[in-house]
Structure 1
Amino acid sequence: MPFRAAVITFPGSNCDRDMAVAIEKIGGTSPLRVWHGDADLPEKLDFIALPGGFSYGDYLRSGAMAANSPIMRSVIRAAERGVPVLGVCNGFQVLTESQLLPGALLRNAQQTFLCRTVDLTVENAQSLFTSRYEQGETIAIPVAHHDGNYFADSATLDRLEGDGRVAFRYADDCNGSQRRIAGILNAAGNVLGMMPHPERAIESAHGGVDGRRLFASAIEALVEA
């Protein structure tokens, strides 16, 4: 059966097209485009992506208003059923604000917008999203954020580490994130939030292809399931 994905667009999203292009290039099927104000997701989805951007202009807190959009109730229900959900950058912020993932994304420690390619260490190569990477491998993925400083209390951080839920870690401290965390999984392993942009690393002409394997990992696992 064809891979069936959806990309959610919020007011202020600016990476939704990039995400859709990445999914289509690697999965072979154009994803459905879903507006934040829709009450329900399309039926029988295999994959949901929350893209980067500045939803609602980052008013209140980044991702806070988007987390209360009508569509997020359906996204939460889908995640609870086991549907894979990927949140990138602003999408990661939305996932924490909707409590699908623990912690919060604070203002970068430098108080400046960060836009460059960074090195990440693959901390968990056994997840739905990372099976095509090698454990401990270093990959290069772009970042572009102002509020990417991951914060959680010590007990939560210890639990994430102990349960293998840290998916990616910055090789160097780039934004102040505690324990250099760049991406985390939920307890079930079907929700991944990460600040770096894998959808911007799928073409060598754009500077690198290390993001391709994230999408390929998920698509391969879902097609074989």
Structure 2
Amino acid sequence: MDIDTRRPRARSARILSPLFGMAVTGALLAGCAAPASPTPTVTQTVTASADPAPSASPSASTPAADASPSGIGDVQLGAPYDDAAAGAGATPVEACPWLASAEADGYTLILQRAEPQEQDPAVVELVQVSASPADLEGGSTIGPVTAEGIGVGSRVDQALAAYPDAAEIESVGDRRYLAIESEAGAGSVFLTYTAGTDTIWAVTATTLEEPPYESCG
């Protein structure tokens, strides 16, 4: 036999409806009975502290602005190569895994280890910052500089005035170097320019006799 369940639901509906109506009525009466009182206005004086100007966070790929026979910025000659490359934000050059590079503000940073690898772990034997000569004409010095303020974008005559004992070295073709600093047990600093021009477009610190004409050829 089927049981009709509809009647209890109807009974529940009749019970709930008066209760719901009483609740609504009570709420309305309470709202009418309570006198409307103005909400007090609270005035609060807040003194804003002056925020300090945000400090610039140096990019990992941007070395500190100094070049010496021991290295350039945070990249030191003789340091573990993998650690130095990672710290500088440099990535391996696919065609030449003994090189790593990073782009900085207007110049390129290059790290180099021996090829073939002569020791384990491999160490940094060259670090260089450079820019396209065409982008430096009439411009100012960019990137790391030596203790005398010479760097990428400096003129050759400025370098010779700062380093009167610099040795001028001829390389392949029209490549020229100025060997300006050396330090026993460390390395040497070379400035690269093109014969017939007066703009330095690379600064190199290396333990090699001189920067290679092509590191990845």
- Normalising TM by the smaller chain, what interval? under 0.3
> TM-score with structure 1 length normalisation?
0.27
Question: Which structure's residues are more often helix, by fraction?
Answer: 1
User: Which protein has the larger Cα radius of gyration, Structure 1 or Structure 2?
Assistant: 2
- TM-score, structure 2 length as denominator? 0.28
RCO greater where, 1 or 2, for CA within 8 Å and sep 6 or more?
1
